[in-house]
Structures are given as C-alpha cells and as structure tokens.
Amino acid sequence: MEEVVGDAHVSHRQEAFAGAYIRAVCATIGYSISKPETDHDKVDFIISSREKGSVLNKPKIDLQSKCRMSGIATEDPIAYSIDIETYNNLRDSRVSNPRLLILTLVPNSTSGWMSQSEEQLVLKHCSYWISLKGQPETKNSTGITVYFPRANLFTPISLKEMMIKTGNGEDL
C-alpha cells in the first residue's frame, strides 16, 4: 500500500487510530463510547452499556488508551512503559468505574495500519487490556513498566464479559 503522508504528527495519528479501534469494538456490540471533555484523571474514553440482568444496570468502564508502533506482538506478556501519574490514576481502587489501560499495537509504517476493499476494512494489528487496580505504589519517580498478557485481547467478546463483571460488581 502506498504511504499516505498527512499533516498530523505520527503520535496524533496513533492516538486517533487507537481511538478508532476502540470505537469499532464498541460499535460491534452496541455499546456507547464518549470522550471526557478534559483529561484530568487519565481517562480517554468512557464505555457504557445497557446490559441488564446484572446487579447494576448500565455499567460503565473508563479507558486510558495507548498506541505503539511495533508490529505484531511476539513477547508474552507485552511490556509497555507508562508515566507515574497515569500508573497512579489507573491503580486507584477508590473510583466508581473500573479503569483499564488499552494498548493498541500497529505496524511500524502508517501505510500498513489499515487496508480496505469493497469486501472488507482491516485494521492492524490489535489491542490488549489490563487493569492496574490495586497495584502497589512504586518508588519510581518518572515511569514504570506494565505488562499486558497476550490472552487479554480487547475484542467485542472480552468487552462484553468485562461489562457483565462490572455490572455484577466484580473486579476485572
């Protein structure tokens, strides 16, 4: 595929692409997704559901989204460094909505991020999720490495399972 050059810095494109991936997962199962007007708490998206049959109706999950140009994951778990402020916000257990960190992996070249034809739209590669709730404090002052199990693919099925757990008051 031909490289399409745009005006946006690659980090802005990564942010937009990861958001589009998350939105596609939500759209597939009919969940609502919103973006907070300000990012004071390291929450990029709020996903809400109309799931019924749980202890709580209309559960919500908060997301912090990251994107890395690295191609398909080969290591398990996948190591990713985040800043301490993000780590502390995501590990806070005193919040009403569970918080997840989503890592979207994309090819090293932006031209490989998507392909389309009349039959299909393909977004490459995929996203993984972790919950840092209750993780210990760190003595690090700038950043910390967190680990995403490759089994934690962020898919419509995994999101639905997490939303049901959230509605039942279970940890993710």
pLDDT at 4: 59
First-to-last CA distance in the chain? 39
HEC readout, 111-123: HHCEEECCCCEEE
Burial of 127 (0-12, 13-18, 19+ CB in 10 A): buried
Query: Worst-scoring range by mean pLDDT, 17-26, 29-38, 45-54, 117-126?
Result: 45-54
Mean residue pLDDT across the chain: 93
Res 18 pLDDT > 60: yes
Residue range 16-30: mean pLDDT, rounded: 96
Q: Where are the domains of the chain?
A: 10-166
pLDDT at 2: 53
**Using one digit for the tens of pLDDT, what is the confidence trace for 60-83?**
999 999 999 998 999 999 999 999
CATH of domain 10-166: 3.40.1350.10
